[in-house]
Amino acid sequence: MIFYVMKILLGSGGHTPTDRKRALVHEIQSFLGSTIERFLFIPYALQDWDYYAECFKELGLAAGYHLDSIHKAPDPKQAIASAEAIYIGGGNTNRLLSRLYEFDLVETVRERVRAGIPYIGLSAGSNVACPTTQTSNDMVIMVPPTFKALSLVPFQINPHYHDHPENPGLRAETRALRIQEYLEENPNETVVGMREGSVLRINDDNLTLGGNNGIRVFYGPEIGKQPEDFWPEDAISFLLK
């Protein structure tokens, strides 16, 4: 087995209300520290890249660091090669993955992160850190060449996870049911449902849960475990194995 030295921070998104954004900014600042001054932002999950980069700054989600957007770079691969850190924002996961393949950046990003460059992903940026993007909530508005993604973590993520249907008076389908259907076809996998405001932080072989909300972990039938809830300070490094 190849051992990679990785620093990864994955957020569900949902940076409003203010307490969630404050918690996320704190996690980013703690994660990147004071030795890093700037990060490379990848805005491909939205259509208007200029707007996205500026909006990110205005919302304070750059957490006080200098933001360089990859779409401004004359050579995207070189921008990744020289970046201090990589930050991929949310939006439509299928559009994001399609653009990463279109610009031939999947392997470049993967290699840099596996070599130790810090990686931050929010929502769609968390989805592409998984083996595939098949547990995204997003419409397939673009069809990527494959749903295989960066494989930075060994489990799947469902961002914006919530426990109940939006209209409980109706016979509504739940997010848990959608995840169950995925696991019926992928029985030896694990899916982490990240509630709004939850943050996963990886430092080599150590995985911790931060932010101000918890996660629900779903296991495929071959694993043989019932879904479990975890909260900040719970031990969850077993998910990396």
160 belongs to the catalytic site = yes
- Known catalytic membership, residue 138: yes
Q: Using an 8 Å Cβ cutoff, are 106 and 150 in contact?
A: yes
Candidates 15, 98, 138, 198; catalytic one: 138
Q: Are 25 and 59 in contact (CB under 8 A)?
A: no
Distance of CA 6 to the CA centre of its chain: 14
Catalytic residue selected from 26, 68, 151, 160: 160
162 catalytically annotated: no
**For residues 214 and 17, what is the distance between their CA atoms, to the nearest angstrom?**
16
Six token digits for residue 234? 């719970």
13: nearest Cα among 57, 54, 56: 56
Between β-strands 119-122 and 156-161, what pairing exists: parallel, antiparallel or unpaired?
Answer: unpaired
Work out whether the CA dihedral 131, 95, 18, 62 comes out positive or negative: positive
- DSSP codes of every residue in 102-126: HTT-HHHHHHHHHTT--EEEETHHH
Active-site residue, from 123, 126, 136, 198: 123
**Catalytic positions, please?**
123, 138, 160
